[in-house]
Every structure is written in structure tokens, then in C-alpha cells.
Amino acid sequence: MAKTAKSHSAETTQVELPPLLPADRHNSRLTLIIKEYLQPDEIALVWKAYRLSKKAHEGQKRSSGEDYITHPVSVACIAARFHLDAASIQAALLHDVVEDTNVSLESIAKQFTPQVAKLVEGLSKLDKIHFDDASHAQAENFRKMLLAMSQDVRVILVKLADRLHNMQTLEHLKPEKRLRIAQETLDIYSPIANRLGLNNLYQELEDLAFRYIHPLRYKTIHKAILAARGNRKEVVGKILDDINSKLQTYQLKAQATGREKNESSIHRKMLKKHTSFSQINDIYAFRIIVEDQGSCYTALGALHSLYKPIAGKFKDYIAIPKANGYQSLHTTLFGPFGTPVEVQIRTESMHNLAEAGVAAHWLYKTKDSHVTQLQQQTNQWLKKLLEMQSDELDSLEFLEHLKIDLFPDEVYVFTPKGKILALPKGSSTVDFAYAVHSDVGNHAVAVKINQELVPLREEIKTGDHIEIITAPLAKPNPAWMNFVITGKARSQIRSYLRSAESNDLVILGYSMLNNALKAFRIDPDLIKKKHWDKLILDYHLKSKEDVLVEIALGKKVNVMVAHQLTNIMDGVKKTKSQSKFLDIITIKGSDDMAIELASCCHPIPGDPILGYINKDRGLIIHTHDCPTIKKYNLDPERWVDVEWEPNADKLYKVSLSVLVANETGMLAKMASAIAQASSNIENVSFDESDGSNFVSINFVVQVKDRIHLAEVIRSLRRISKVSRINRLKTIK
């Protein structure tokens, strides 16, 4: 039997996760737990579910060689520790019977209740569906799981219990499978546990995942902790004595405890600070639990009079709780011998909520308004998941948005009405606008932070007061996709662009497909409706236009689509007059929503160019010598030949750096020369002087093409004091 990961905490938490037990003791262990809170008739239903599960799984073995029934019973024990209701415990016992045995959901609904059947359905694994690859299958699995979770949060609580037991017994699987499951846990399940406030569950999942992903690092840190334990015991004891003495002086009824940080959190700190274990002094943290909220701040004052606080290391999560409902005061102090001392101060109810999160509703049967608020916040977050579901995202996109929203680092900002919103660290004002409401984001034109106008791409910081200015006719800008990070903002912008760009993308996709077809010497006119219908069916799309949009966005490679059409059209005559070379896509400029001029090289008509298909932004135009092409080693299959449309009546920005003698009147002379070349100056800036007789002046000018640019440069060269002129690829 696999052993449970040992907790190195110096204190006993309120929600103790049950240890794994031999098969003949599982039943008695579950009985002891559920007798604490379930009624006799509910316990009878639990054992009815147990008997059905045991009979259904009879003869089945786990990888460890144990009877399979030990797994659902262990999951039920973990779920029961959160005092989940009888229906949840029954679902935990039956969660694998639908997929792995002949028992049907209809049978479960009939023998128990439709509610139990619905929970089991939410917990059941994926049906055997064909996916392009393993990553799509994994993404679709999460998508379905979270959709079920959004309908009933008990699904994810039991699912997390299931994942914890699987992680506790992971040693019996093959190494490659252990690594895949551990990484999956680290990427999705532990962040979800953290997001729901299940602190104990989150920490154990993190530690177990770390053990299997980095086994050598885990063993090294674990040994170092054991070795350091004796050396630091005296220091920890002295700190606890000092804290208790000071709290008594302030006549505070408080419980102070010390706890050892787990291996994964120490590893994260080592990576963050680029230090070795010996340089991590604060492997112990201290927690003070007091009677009421006012006592939290009194205790904080007492600690700050005991040890000096470290500047910038204080956080008040009581006044501004985390998104998962967590409340506590955090401070870091200079302890004895220069040791940093991390302390958390909270009330008993705050501590219960910190350990149990949304499960506190079941575990403590509390009517605390903060727990109710936490449930409302959780429901709002789950509702956002449903909103993303309706945006026609594919599974990988949905998983990408979900991972972003699960990041634990958050900033807290204020709306004009004083409401606090929590967003992921690194969010822009556009992310904030979409967090307020989708319509606010879609119609945003400007923003004020602390009463000052700032760019929409401005990164927000904790404490900012933000006001979004909207206009009825405004619409999302494709460039926003370069800096928004929240799942809601990205999905809403992408959804809008998909509808707004539909015509542009269809035309672009059609042009790209035709090029590929001509490479196969297939006349596009020979593709009939029956051929398209077969292709649409194969791709699980709704229409021909959807296929063309997928090509334009780079989700389908034009050559591969053309090849599949060629196979479908088996026997169709190929044209003899088609050129063996691909037709070139004509670029009119940057006004097409599906076509964007790259900001890394700022091409203008006359520059040799290439097009790169970006799945989020459409076709990106680069110059042939753009350093990005070499730097990022972009997928060669996504490059297409493009050329400028002749006589396009548009103006393009170009940045010029001019080295000129530092004399009076030179700027006026250069401005006049640029005007004589029929160009307009959009911006002027100066590089910092190096003390020489020359100064570097940067102009952003508007030109039609390279020929026009050459005229501007010649006009500037006629000024005798101009020493050097360079075209800059980056607009300053």
C-alpha cells in the first residue's frame, strides 16, 4: 500500500487528511468519520453505495495489487473529512462504476437519487472520444470536469479527493505516467484547490507533485530540513516564548504555533531568490490565532514592538481578502540572530476558512456571512467559466484561459464606487474593464488611474482607483490581445474579433487555400459542395467559412487542408496550365483586421516581406531581414509569400535616427527638409547627450513607401551638418 506523504507541520490543522489504511480497516475508518456528522438513515445509504461499488468492482485490482474498492473508500474518507453531505460520499464510492463496470447512471438514479447520479456523471471520466492528440484529450477532460463543477461545486471537491488519493498511490505506476499525472496535478488540480481555499489539500498536492516531478530535489531538500531541524529548534523555541510573553503583556487570549514550510514551498523560494537551502533562513513560519478581528491588529502591534518589521513585507488580507476568501494579517520581522520571522495573525473562524475554503460550509455548519460571500464569489468564478464555454473556444484555448485565471498572485483594485476587484498580477486596465462587465470592456476608449489618464495597456497595481471611459461606437482592438492576460478578457476579445473579422478571415483563408491547391495543381473551381461537405464533417466544423477562418487563423495549415481535399477529390482532373509556384497574397496595408504589420520591423511598401500566420491575430507581415524570424525560430509551415498592392494610397510610420551637429536652428532646418519631401513629422525625441558636439534626434515620419522614404532621407542629407541617418525598425 502506498504511504501518505508525511506532514512536517509542527501543529495539527483543523482539517486533517485521513491516512491510507490497509483494506480490512478502511470500512471501520469511514464509519468513524461519517458517524461524526451524518444521520443513521444517511449512513445506511452510504453503506448501500459501498456494497454496490464493492460488488461492481469485484475482481478488479489497482496497480499496487490491492482490491480496487480500496480506492473509492479512500476517496470517500477524504471527502468525509470535509463533512460533505451523504450524496457526495455516495458519489465518491460510486465515482468509477459507470466507466469501469456495467452499472449505468439510470441504475444509480433508481437505487439512490437523481442527485447522486448527477454527481457521479460529473465525476465520470471521458467517454472514448477521438482527439487530434493527447493534449486535446487532456484539455477536453478539464473542460468537461469544470463544466460539471460549475453546475455543482461538490463535484470538484470529490474530484480533488480522488486526485489526492491517486497522488498518494502514484509510486505504483510507470515513471512516464507518474510524471504526466504529477504535472497535470501541478498545472490544474492544486491551483483549483488553492482557488477554492482548500489550503491543506493544495499544499499536499503541491508537495506530492514536486516529489515526483523533481525527485532528487525533493530528497535533497527533505534531508536538509531534517538536518536543520535540530540546529534551529532552539531558535524556534525562543521565538515562540518571546511571542507568547509579549501577547500576555498585551492581555491577549491567543494561541501561537510554529510550523515548518513544506519542501515545494521552500523550493519555490530558492528558485525565486536564486539561493541555496543554507541561505533560506525562514523555513519556519508562525501563526497566531486570536478571539476577534480587533485582537488581530492588537497582536500585530504587539509583534512590531517585539521585533522590528521588515519594510514592504506587511499584507492586510483581512481588510482586503483574497479571491478564495482567505483572511489573515501577514508580517515579516527581524527575529533573534537576524533570522526573518514570518507570522500570520487570524481569528479561529478565519483559520477554519483558510484550511477548508468553500468546504467550510459543510465542515463547520457555519452561518458566517464571510463564508456565504466566499460561496458567492466561487459561484461568480464558476459562472465566468460557463461564459468562456459559450465563446466557441476550442479545448486548448479554454485550458489556456483557465490556467491564467488560476494564478495565485493577485492585485486588488478599486472601482469608482469603491468596490474591490481581484485580478491576476500583470493585468492591464483592459483586463479590469472586462472584469467589471463585458460591455465595459468592448466599448472602452480611455482609462483613468488615480484620476490621471493612462494608456489602456497600463499595468494595474494594488490600491489603484480605476475608472474606464467608454463610447457607444467603440469596439475591441486586435492589439489588445498582445497585453491582456485574464481568461475573460481574452475570450471576449477573441469572440468579438471572430465575428468582426469573419469576412476578412474568410477572404484571407480562401486566398491561402487557393495557393496551396495550385501547388497541388488543383483548380479551386473543381471543388464541389460534396467535397466541402465531406471536409467539414471530417473537421467537425459547421460550414465552409469555418474551415477558411481556421486556415486564416493558422489553426489549420493550408497545405494540409489542400492535401485532404485532394484525397477527397480522388480522380478529379488536375489543371495543366497552373503555375508550379504559389500565387502571392496581396497586402493592401494595415487596415484589414486579419492582417497586421509587425511591430518588431515596421515594414513599408517596397520592403521585401513575408507573412506569418498567428492563430490569435491573423496574418502578421515581417520584413525579410526581421530579427524576430531568426530569434524565435518560428514554425516554417506558417510562412506564406506576400507582396504589396501597387499604388496603395496609405501612409506608414517610419522611425529615423539622425546624428547632427549640436547647433542652434538645426531642428528647424530638418523639419523644413522633411516637409519639402512631402512627409509629415508625427513625433520627435532626443537621445541623452554624451557631451560631444553632436546630438542624435529621432523622428517618426509618415511615408508612402520606400521610394518616398528615400526622398525624405536625401532631403535631410542636403543639410551640411547632418552626419548620419539610420532607419530604426522600432518606433520610438
In CATH terms, the fold of domain 217-357 is Beta Polymerase; domain 2 (3.30.460)
State the pLDDT at residue 540: 81
Instruction: Name the band, by pLDDT with cuts 50, 70 and 90, for residue 434.
Output: very high
C-alpha cell at 493: 476579445
Q: Is the pLDDT of residue 332 over 50?
A: yes
Terminus-to-terminus CA distance in the chain, angstroms? 64
Q: Calculate the dihedral angle through the C-alpha atoms of 82, 83, 87, 90, rounding to the nearest 10 degrees.
A: 70
User: What is this structure's pTM?
Assistant: 0.54
Which residue has better confidence, 521 or 236?
236
Distance CA 472, CA 72 (A): 55
Edge-to-edge strands, sheet with 639-644: 585-587, 639-644, 609-614, 618-623, 595-597
- Average pLDDT over every residue of 87-109: 89
Residue 657 CB coordination number (10 Å): 16
Q: Looking only at Cα atoms, what is the longest distance across the chain?
A: 100
Q: Which of the following is catalytic: 11, 100, 387, 394?
A: 100
pLDDT score of 615 more than 70 = no
Q: Virtual CA dihedral for 354, 355, 360, 366, nearest 10 degrees?
A: -70
Cβ count near 36 (within 10 Å): 9
Q: Which of these, 470, 442, 443, 466, lies nearest to 454 by C-alpha position?
A: 466
Whether residue 371 has pLDDT greater than 90: no
More confident of the two residues 16 and 630 = 630
Q: What was the pLDDT predicted at 280?
A: 65
CA atoms of 299 and 305, how far apart (whole Å)? 10
Specify the DSSP element, H or E, that contains 580: none
**pLDDT at 257 (0 to 100):** 85
More confident residue, 400 or 114: 114
Per-residue confidence (pLDDT) for residue 16, from 0 to 100? 43
Q: Which three cell numbers stand for residue 666?
A: 538645426
For residues 218 and 210, the answer to whether their CB atoms sit within 8 Å is: yes
pLDDT digits (tens, 9 = 90+) for 633-676: 556 666 777 778 776 677 888 999 999 988 888 899 999 999 99
Q: Which of 42, 99, 545, 616 is catalytic?
A: 99
DSSP state of 558: H
Round to whole Å and give the CA distance between 142 and 184: 10
Position with higher pLDDT, 73 vs 375: 73
Quote the DSSP letter at residue 67: B
The architecture of the domain spanning 23-213 is: Orthogonal Bundle (1.10)
What is the H or E stretch that residue 514 is in? helix 502-519
Q: Does the annotation count 538 as an active-site position?
A: no
The domain spans of the chain are: 23-213, 217-357, 375-499, 500-644, 652-728
Closest CA to 325 of 384, 383, 370: 370
Q: Residue 100 catalytic?
A: yes
Q: By mean pLDDT, which of 170-174, 372-376, 566-570, 605-609 is the weakest?
A: 372-376
pLDDT, tens only, 110-125: 999 988 998 888 777 4
Give the confidence band of 147 by pLDDT, cuts at 50, 70, 90: low
Q: Which of 146, 51, 27, 44 is nearest to 103 (CA)?
A: 51
- 616 has pLDDT over 60: no
Placement of cell 478564495 in the chain: 324
Structure letter (DSSP) for residue 172: G
pLDDT > 50? residue 452? yes
Give the residue carrying C-alpha cell 525625441.
Answer: 685
The model's pLDDT over 262-315, given as tens digits with 9 standing for 90+, comes to: 788 787 777 776 777 666 656 678 999 999 999 999 999 999 998 888 887 888
Q: In angstroms, rounded to a whole number, what is the distance separating the alpha carbons of residues 566 and 698?
A: 53
Architecture of domain 652-728: 2-Layer Sandwich (3.30)
Nearest to 443 by CA among 468, 419, 478, 421: 468
Chain centroid to CA 455: how far? 24
pLDDT at 128: 37
Q: Which of 38, 15, 41 is nearest to 356 (CA)?
A: 15
Residue 725 pLDDT class (50, 70, 90 cuts): very high
Give the number of other Cβ atoms within 10 Å of residue 645's Cβ: 12
Express each pLDDT in 18-58 by its tens digit.
Answer: 444 344 455 677 888 888 888 899 999 999 999 999 898 88
Sheet holding 652-661, edge to edge: 680-686, 694-703, 652-661, 722-728
What pLDDT is attached to residue 520?
Answer: 62
CA distance 548 to 507: 8
**Residue 590 corresponds to which cell in the numbers above?**
494595415
Q: Of 452, 9, 25, whose CA–CA distance to 17 is shortest?
A: 9
- For residue 422 the three cell numbers come to 481581484
Sequence-ordered alpha helix ranges (H) in 169-214? 175-184, 190-195, 199-213
Query: Would the pLDDT of 253 be above 70?
Result: yes
Mean pLDDT over each residue of the chain, to the nearest integer:
78
Check residues 177 and 562 and name the one with the higher pLDDT.
Answer: 177
Would you state the CATH architecture of domain 375-499?
Roll (3.10)
Q: For residue range 457-504, what is the model confidence (pLDDT) as tens digits? A: 899 987 789 999 998 888 888 778 878 888 788 888 877 776 766 677
pLDDT at 374: 59
pLDDT at res. 140:
59
Instruction: Please say whether the beta carbons of 644 and 586 come within 8 A.
Output: yes
- pLDDT-derived band at 709 (thresholds 50, 70, 90) equals very high
Q: What is the pLDDT of residue 429?
A: 93
Report the pLDDT averaged over residues 366-395. Answer: 57
Alpha-carbon gap, residue 334 to 306, rounded angstroms: 10
Q: Residue 426 carries which DSSP code?
A: T
Which range (40-49, 199-208, 267-276, 708-717) has the least confidence?
A: 267-276
Question: Quick one: pLDDT at residue 717?
Answer: 92
Half-sphere exposure of 166 (CA within 13 A, CB side): 17
Q: Is the pLDDT of residue 335 over 60?
A: yes
